Chains A and B, each alone.
Chain A
Amino acid sequence: KQEVTQIPAALSVPEGENLVLNCSFTDSAIYNLQWFRQDPGKGLTSLLLIQSSQREQTSGRLNASLDKSSGRSTLYIAASQPGDSATYLCAVRPRMDSSYKLIFGSGTRLLVRP
């Protein structure tokens, strides 16, 4: 059974710092991995999607990497800003049964202090 873990559960950093959020998954048989952002009381916003054949994806100050063989992904945020404060979730789409479901981690709650 696919399980997704995110460590740490919470992170507090000063503004301007570069930071890395971690995501690990137990079964490397995945179609893709997706990083989301969730603001308090809001829905999820997709940040980056990495296909299983890709190693990384970049969007602005965000860079996501994928090491499928080791079951790991990282989300790198450069020059963090208070507006980056949110919960970040990763999710994998398992290759099992050609399913279109996503399995989510429990998220990392990020606080960027001014």
Chain B
Amino acid sequence: DAGVIQSPRHEVTEMGQEVTLRCKPISGHDYLFWYRQTMMRGLELLIYFNNNVPIDDSGMPEDRFSAKMPNASFSTLKIQPSEPRDSAVYFCASSAVSGSGLYEQYFGPGTRLTVT
């Protein structure tokens, strides 16, 4: 498997523009997570899905952020309008519970977002 795939890898945009980040989870994984990493706040969970349904979005900072998972192989995180303080690295991760009950998250390479 190719692992978790994210696109784009880098995004530079101007304040006020809409930004869409994309994620393809590992095939067969039924959990998908969106994280944001900054120097000041570290790695924070924004939202996660189970079987395409949002389970916990308590980490989404404000209404400018929205996430969707239209099917098991694709998810988007949208910021509209973007602001300079949204500049960060956004990670997508996926997981599945193994037969032995283990649960392990696998991360994508991240999207580095810069809002000027």
A interface list, Cβ under 8 A from B: 31-32, 34, 36, 41-46, 49, 51, 89, 91, 93, 99-107
- Which single member of A32, A44, A45, A104 contacts B103 (CB below 8 Å)? A32
- Which single member of B31, B42, B44, B102 contacts A100 (CB below 8 Å)? B31
CB nearest neighbor in B for A4:
B42
CB of B50 within 8 A of CB of A49, answer no
CB of B103 within 8 A of CB of A93, answer yes
CB of A31 within 8 A of CB of B103, answer yes
Judge if B12 is at the interface, Cβ distance under 8 Å: no
- Which single member of A36, A42, A101, A105 contacts B33 (CB below 8 Å)? A101
- Which single member of A43, A89, A100, A102 contacts B110 (CB below 8 Å)? A43
For the complex, count residues of B whose C-beta is within 8 A of A.
25
How many Å lie between the Cα of A106 and that of B91 in the bound state? 15
B interface list, Cβ under 8 A from A: 4, 31, 33, 42-45, 48, 50, 55-56, 91, 93, 95, 101-110, 112
Contacts of A99 in B (CB 8 A): 56
Distance from B3 Cβ to chain A, minimum over Cβ atoms (Å): 9
Q: List 6 A-B contacts (CB under 8 A).
A: A32-B102, A41-B112, A42-B110, A99-B56, A101-B48, A104-B42
Contacts of A34 in B (CB 8 A): 104-105
- Which single member of A32, A46, A93, A107 contacts B42 (CB below 8 Å)? A107
Instruction: Contacts A100-B31, A101-B56, A104-B42 given; indicate if A46 touches B48 (C-beta within 8 A).
Output: no
CB of A100 within 8 A of CB of B91, answer no
How many Å lie between the Cα of A106 and that of B107 in the bound state? 17
CB of A42 within 8 A of CB of B109, answer yes
17 further contact pairs, Cβ within 8 A, besides A99-B56, A104-B44, A106-B42: A31-B103, A32-B102, A32-B103, A34-B105, A41-B112, A42-B109, A43-B108, A44-B107, A45-B107, A46-B104, A51-B102, A100-B31, A100-B50, A100-B55, A101-B48, A102-B33, A107-B42
